[in-house]
Chains A and B, each alone.
Chain A
Amino acid sequence: MRIGVFICHCGSNIAGTVDCARVASLAAGYPDVVYATYPMYTCAEPGQAAIEQAIHEHRLDGVVVASCSPRMHEPTFRKTVERAGLNPYMFEMANIREHVSWIGRDIEANTHKAAELVLLAVEKLRRNRPLYSREFPVTRRVLIIGGGVAGIQAALDCAEGGIPVVLVEREATIGGKMAKLDKTFPTVDCSACILGPKMVDVAQHPLITLYAHAEVEEISGYVGNFSVKIRKRATYVDWSKCTGCGTCMEKCPSKKATDRFNEGIATTTAITIAFPQAIPKKAVIAKDFCRQLSGKKCGVCAKVCPTGAIDYDMQDTFVTENVGSIVAATGYDLMDWTVYGQYGHGRYPDVISSLAYERLMNASGPTEGHILRPSDGREPKSIVFVQCVGSRDPSLNRPYCSGFCCMYTAKQAILTKDHIPDSQSYVFYMDIRAPGKMYDEFTRRAQEEYGTQYIRGRVSQIFPNGKGQLTVMGMDTLLGKPVEITADLVVLAVGIEASRGARELAEKLRISYDAYGFFMESHVKLKPVETNTAGVFLAGVCQGAKDIPASVAQGSAAAAKVLTLFARDCLASNPQIAHVDNKRCVGCGKCVRCCPFGAISTCTVRGEEKAEVIETMCQGCGLCTATCPQGAIQLAHATDDQILAEVDALCQI
């Protein structure tokens, strides 16, 4: 082979703690290396051009770039060498930035280590073989998990782009958290007015199949060809018959059911339609509260239903959908704030979450938009907002900022003044985070035009004062003295957490999640909606805290990724898959047993049983290669010989 080695300075990122010229000079002595140099920025246009030129000039048939992580620029340089006529797999990277220059300051040690990592890459490259992708057809349908605003946006954009969409929503209605909001910041326009039409569009779009009250049970397959098993949870109402007339709700004798849509500030009936604009507008029976389903005699809803839609014997059903791509848009849930003793562990009815407060303010909420205290139905005059309840709190292992609480609190303070002109709002805050367009202006309006009193500090305790009010004790850290406020109502800006079940879903999707359950994007900056699993994209808060405009933008971005993926009729397969050497295979079936993807079957070759890799199913994990005792099944680009050469390169020098 004729190998060229490029030791990147990466400006001072690498050259600051690695003697790149020395590494290049050592590399020049490595086997098959005929050219070694140390450019300033290898990934920049001149750097890439230099690689191409060197390939031609020195007749290189393999290239090693020692620079940043291959997770960053391996695709870049594979394209570079391909442009110069090499097979993209005749390329190896040595990570001398993230794994060397950035983690140690000893130049001698770093240089030595970098040189060895280059040797490792050279020895690997010497055993590389050109690999060629194959084309395989794509199922041009997309699954979107979660019908919040991000999922809705992604669904509509995909459908508008001509891609059939399967939208799965866990709740009985789409709309997500945004559907619960009264108004949105910073424009204070009506949430329902801007989301409602989109929800209707989803319902009416001929290319969108909506499964509400459903969950993803199993996912198999790979980019372009996923198979998804969806569990349609029993609603006990035949939705094909239900017209959403609401008669059942009026007559249902069980009226103490938890109203989840209204965040528990009111109760509802056992059979219910979440809210008037629900999509689909269909009734669902909450099994735990239904008398009939609890074994008591009732059956009222069945009697009154004009279409006979009630079905008490309904079971969960399953449906399998084949799609080529998946967008996860599972949003968030509020953390359980009742862990906080200083806020009363949830014992005081007039200490509520901000989302519950949205429902109090909302015209379609249980109070029809009148702000009334949950305890006695009186209109509160003094309202205290507490920020960062469960956000930025390392003591509860919640160090992250929930992102949008500062803004909605300002909005809620403004709206409170609108609703109750003689009220006074107080906001206990840590910092005001208002970096968006028109955001800071908005928080100023809350203070300056609406007289909201912002107190920089934390609340230390809330307790009833015995006169039907709450005493809120806190510290004003700007004045440096304690404050005590008598409040009629306390609204907690409760921090967010990954949606319940997010981790399990990530495991089904084979994507990563962080320590808090938020899904991992492929690259923090450059691939914010991609994941490490090809064909799976992210939208909205499931990836991390963000407000509505950002969620919508990500929904559209994910849709754009789906449309890009589907712009071709066929996808190029990953050629880094396992291959069976029929001469060596004895057909013992160990690989078949452990392949996570069922990608190995057996076939008969000249009367002998042999393993056979189903190319489109193989994902290239290499478990089979590690399992096969006779080394008959080898993962291309990570063969035994390649890894052994790397081990030997490290252990024999």
Chain B
Amino acid sequence: MSNDRFLAKDALGDFLCHCQGLGYTVYSPQKQEGVRESVVFAPWQKGCEIQLAKATVSPKHLLLPQSEVLFRFRHEKGEEGKSSAVHLEDTSQQAQPTLLFAARPCDARGFTMVDRPYLQGLYADPYYAKRREGLCVLTLCCNSGCESCFCHWTGGGPSSPEGSDILMTDIAEGLVLQAITEKGRKLLAQSDLPEAGAASDQATELRRKAWQSLDKAPDLTEAPHKLKELADNLDFWTEQSRACLSCGACTYVCPTCYCFSISDERRFSGMEEGVRLRSWDTCMARHFTEEASGHNPRALKAQRLQNRISHKYAGYPENWGSFSCSGCGRCVTHCPVGIDIRHIVLAAIALPDTQAKEARS
């Protein structure tokens, strides 16, 4: 019998308070008014309305903040400005335990795609590692598919457990919580949530139905190969990128885009001091690859779109054995000009091999 627990809708607040008591900073989806509603992952406080909607922007910033201080530097001087020393303050171990509530499976799977280069490469990134270690992910399964998302194309699904510590299923009157990892099991064990019992079966049924509701996924196994073939086919990419505005919406809403820029920002304090920042960067912008000489290997938006798509569906799989796209569909919905990554990948696959090569320019 399962160890699933049941969390009643009206007990959500208490549960999150309990998690806070365990030392977690809790992030949950929150609706913010604007021209239209926007759902963002923001720190939850007692009294905050609890949202279960899919967030507009992925929770990636919990692991990779929009900008983070890598270290602080300060040039200190002695008497009369004579002797001097540079002081560096390491900020890599400052992250606090964080609980992410009501991410979606695509968000959680996204974490695993960022984990690989940041944790499993030659060097583990200490900033990322510290935050990752402290992050507990409670994922809400999707009860249906959606016109813009395509998690099952990329190896995931509406109840995919990858990247989650606890998987939650919404059964209307409450959530059924199923521990996936040890961290999840521990959290459930520390809680006083009742056992799910029959609700657990109900949840299983809902998850099965969600899977059933999905349209059939196309076979993308040929994608890496085809995209490599197409790497230099400027005509293909020019056509695909014609409408692209070179903004960064797709990369910044994406749960798996992890590119960054490093910059030093001075503080004007009367001393030489400042911070080294790591901040989000977008490969769709021209300056992303601009070299100091002025030369730019990806001066054209066609080249940049090629890079982005190929990285997700060819380059990354080559290195890490999986697509670096969790199919959340946010790039599709938020692209101002409706560039649809699904169509591009399918178009690449549909192109006969010979044509892909022949059209090389």
Contacts and interface: CB of A to CB of B under 8 A. Distances in A.
Interface residues of B, number: 12
B284 to A, nearest CB: 19
Interface stretch (B40-48, B52-60, B98-106, B262-270): B262-270
Contact of B81 (A33, A123, A648, A652): A33
Contacts of B267: 652
B272 interface: yes
Interface stretch (A22-30, A462-470, A486-494): A22-30
Given A583-B294, A652-B267, A31 B81 contact: no
A649 B268 contact: yes
B242 interface: no
Interface in A20-59: 25-36
A645 B81 contact: no
Q: How large is the interface on A (under 10, 10 to 19, 20 to 34, 35 or more residues)?
A: 20 to 34
Contacts of A35: 81
B271 A30 contact: yes
A648 B268 CA distance: 6
A653 to B, nearest CB: 6
Contacts of A25: 80
Contacts of B81: 27-30, 33-36
Contacts of B270: 26, 29-31, 119, 649, 653
Contact of A652 (B77, B80, B268, B272): B268
Contact of B80 (A28, A119, A583): A28
A123 B268 contact: yes
B72 to A, nearest CB: 15
A33 B269 CA distance: 14
Contacts of B272: 31-32
B75 interface: yes
A353 to B, nearest CB: 63
A25 B81 CA distance: 8
A651 B269 CA distance: 9
A32 B111 CA distance: 43
B271 A31 contact: yes
A34 B81 CA distance: 6
DSSP majority for the A interface? mixed
Interface in B64-113: 75, 77, 80-81
Nearest to B76: A29
A653 B268 contact: yes
B264 to A, nearest CB: 13
A31 B266 CA distance: 11
A561 B271 CA distance: 46
Contact of B271 (A29, A583, A645): A29
Contacts of A645: 268
B295 to A, nearest CB: 11
Contacts of B266: 648
Contact of B77 (A28, A583, A653): A28
Nearest to A31: B272
Contacts of A649: 268, 270
Interface string B266-283: 111111100000000000
B299 to A, nearest CB: 11
Contacts of B294: 583
A649 B272 CA distance: 11
A649 B268 CA distance: 5
A28 B77 CA distance: 8
**Residue among A28, A31, A33, A123 having the largest count of chain B Cβ atoms under 10 Å:** A31
Given A31-B75, A583-B294, A653 B269 contact: yes
Interface in B266-322: 266-272, 294
A641 to B, nearest CB: 11
A36 B269 CA distance: 18
A31 B270 CA distance: 7
Contacts of A30: 81, 270-271
A32 B271 CA distance: 9
A54 to B, nearest CB: 13
Interface in A109-134: 119, 123
Contacts of A31: 75, 270-272
Contacts of B269: 652-653
B252 to A, nearest CB: 22
Contacts of A653: 268-270
Contacts of A583: 294
Contacts of B268: 123, 645, 648-649, 651-653
A152 to B, nearest CB: 57
B292 to A, nearest CB: 12
A648 B270 CA distance: 10
A32 B84 CA distance: 11
A25 B75 CA distance: 16
Contacts of A33: 81
Nearest to A652: B268
Nearest to A29: B77
A227 B77 CA distance: 56
B271 A36 contact: no
A26 B269 CA distance: 12
A32 B80 CA distance: 12
B288 to A, nearest CB: 15
Interface in B247-268: 266-268
A32 B75 CA distance: 9
Interface string A617-652: 000000000000000000000000000010011011
Nearest to A118: B270
Nearest to B296: A583
A261 to B, nearest CB: 66
Given A29-B77, A36-B80, 13 more contacts: A25-B80, A28-B77, A30-B270, A32-B272, A33-B81, A583-B294, A645-B268, A648-B266, A648-B268, A651-B268, A652-B267, A653-B268, A653-B270
20 contacts: A25-B80, A26-B270, A27-B81, A28-B80, A28-B81, A29-B77, A29-B81, A30-B270, A31-B270, A31-B271, A31-B272, A32-B272, A34-B81, A119-B270, A583-B294, A648-B268, A649-B268, A649-B270, A652-B268, A653-B268
Interface of B: 75, 77, 80-81, 266-272, 294
Sorted nearest first, the 4 A-B pairs with minimum C-beta distance are A28-B81, A31-B272, A652-B268, A648-B268
